[in-house]
Amino acid sequence: MRLLIVGGLGGQLAIASKMAMDRGASVTHADGVEMALKILRSGKGADLLMVDVGQPIAELVRRLEMEMIHVPIVACGTATNARAAVDAIRAGAKEYIPLPPDPELIAAVLSAVAEDAKDLIVRDDAMARVVRLADQVAASEASILITGESGTGKEVLARHVHRKSARANKPFIAVNCAAIPDNLLESELFGHEKGAFTGAIARRVGKFEEADGGTLLLDEISEMDFRLQSKLLRAIQERVIDRVGGTKPVPVDIRIIATSNRTLADEVRKGTFREDLLYRLNVVNLKIPPLRERPADIIALAEFFAEKYAKANGMKPKPIGHDARRELVRNRWPGNVRELENCMHRAVLLAMTDEIDADAIRTPDGVKLGEANGPVAGTPATPGGYDQTVRRAAETAEAVTRALVGRTVADVERDLILSTLDHCLGNRTHAANILGISIRTLRNKLKEYSDDGIAVPPPGGAERDVA
């Protein structure tokens, strides 16, 4: 956890800094906005900015956005300075910490940002075999390709490999290749020199240099532009990078981990991914099975999320009832662990009894999971129940077909894309995976809709910070 404190270190802010260090955070200090930007451009990086409300937070947020630097901001100030707290949140700060600092509040903020809750929870043999292989190769310097459906926990496993490696005390830097536009991704990875392009107002170190000595995670690498793949291949082979607009190569010492929810061999056959790059990345392949193929993990994960979100919402943790467990295990979970996490967050909030019952286990649109899944396999149906189910399904299918008549393919496609995106809570990567299209195609469609004045759901989850 890398913490950058912006502002004077006198008094209470110095105490907050010491509390953060006591909890394992690496703390750097900048006396103002300009020095903070200089530190961030230099490659030291930060996972969190803790900023004195006396600093121009709105200006800092504007400058970070202009230079495409994505890092959350927490404002700090005296507990009686309510006006400053409101202004800081409006300016773009994620949270406000009153001073003098409370140790538990500091710990909670650091934990939320560091996402220490992303521990590996493994009960199923299918997942245990993957973790054992990960542990076996973690100490090596081999590049690793982690594959699996969206939401299975590929980044969690990548962080686990980093923690088990000899680079554990060095940076772990993650880049979502699907969430950053192609024209910005090169600068994000390799950095740029001042004046290299419009808006490059100063030299900025990229993620390769920021991860020097540690691990660089290239998340959803299948979405990377083909031209940029050539530059990435050279960086992996030669262990040197060229900043955009630079005149000399810069050596780097990193370990590469890449993830993909697509089969890269198929992408090679399509001509969208370089075969030589695949060989460089796929020294070891860790294939994570979907959640539906690791049923023993479902309840363990559900219990973990139930406790996590009970605490996050100031509620007493509740056990998961027998009927609720049955519904959880029999669900297909197309969104995998990410979908299960969202489901349990809802369940914690909806549970009205002393336990989380089946009534609280619902889909995003409010339907009970049991109703969404249909009758449990092997349970006797009511007389005529099967015939009624078939008849209702046929009537529904006929009604849907009639509703499509007279509409253009483009209109139907638009509604399908927007409905899927809404179902995925705005997560572009998840929606593209369900729709069976690339994230680039999805982005182009959404831009087209937005240009036509059609409301498009904003990015959801981790994508929000980089959209």
Provide DSSP, 33-70.
Answer: HHHHHHHHHTT---SEEEEETTS-HHHHHHHHHHTT--
Residues of the chain with CATH 1.10.8.60: 292-373
Alpha-carbon distance of 168 to 214, in angstroms, equals: 7
- Find tokens 């943790």 and name the residue: 317
Alpha-carbon distance of 53 to 265, in angstroms, equals: 51
Percent of the chain surpassing pLDDT 70: 86
Alpha-carbon distance of 238 to 395, in angstroms, equals: 62
Helix (H) or strand (E) holding 307: helix 295-312
Which residues are CB-contacts of 437 (< 8 A; sequence separation ≥ 6)? Answer: none
| Residue-level pLDDT at 465 | 42
| Residue-level pLDDT at 202 | 82
> DSSP 3-state assignment of 226?
helix
- Class of residue 340 by CB neighbours under 10 A (exposed 0-12, middle 13-18, buried 19+): buried
Q: How far is CA 141 from CA 255, 277, 305, in A?
A: 6, 17, 33
| Residue-level pLDDT at 53 | 84
The number of helices, as runs of H, and strands, as runs of E, in the chain is: 20, 12
Alpha-carbon distance of 101 to 291, in angstroms, equals: 41
| Residue-level pLDDT at 308 | 87
Residues of the chain with CATH 1.10.10.60: 389-465
| Residue-level pLDDT at 257 | 97
Low-confidence ranges of the chain (pLDDT < 50): 116-117, 376-386, 389-390, 461-462, 464-467
| Residue-level pLDDT at 111 | 63
- Find tokens 């590929």 and name the residue: 154
- Class of residue 70 by CB neighbours under 10 A (exposed 0-12, middle 13-18, buried 19+): middle
Residues of the chain with CATH 3.40.50.300: 126-289
In 184-293, the DSSP E strands lie at: 215-219, 240-241, 250-251, 255-260, 284-287
Alpha-carbon distance of 324 to 340, in angstroms, equals: 13
| Residue among 18, 49, 85 at smallest CA distance from 9 | 18
Joined tokens for residue 345: 């967050």
389-465 in CATH: which number?
Answer: 1.10.10.60
* CATH superfamily of the domain spanning 2-114: Response regulator (3.40.50.2300)
| Residue among 202, 193, 189, 184 at smallest CA distance from 35 | 202
292-373 in CATH: which number?
Answer: 1.10.8.60
| Residue-level pLDDT at 427 | 82
Does the domain spanning 126-289 belong to CATH 3.40.50.1110?
A: no
| Residue-level pLDDT at 384 | 47
Upper half-sphere CA count for residue 262 (Cβ side, 13 Å): 27
Joined tokens for residue 367: 């339907």
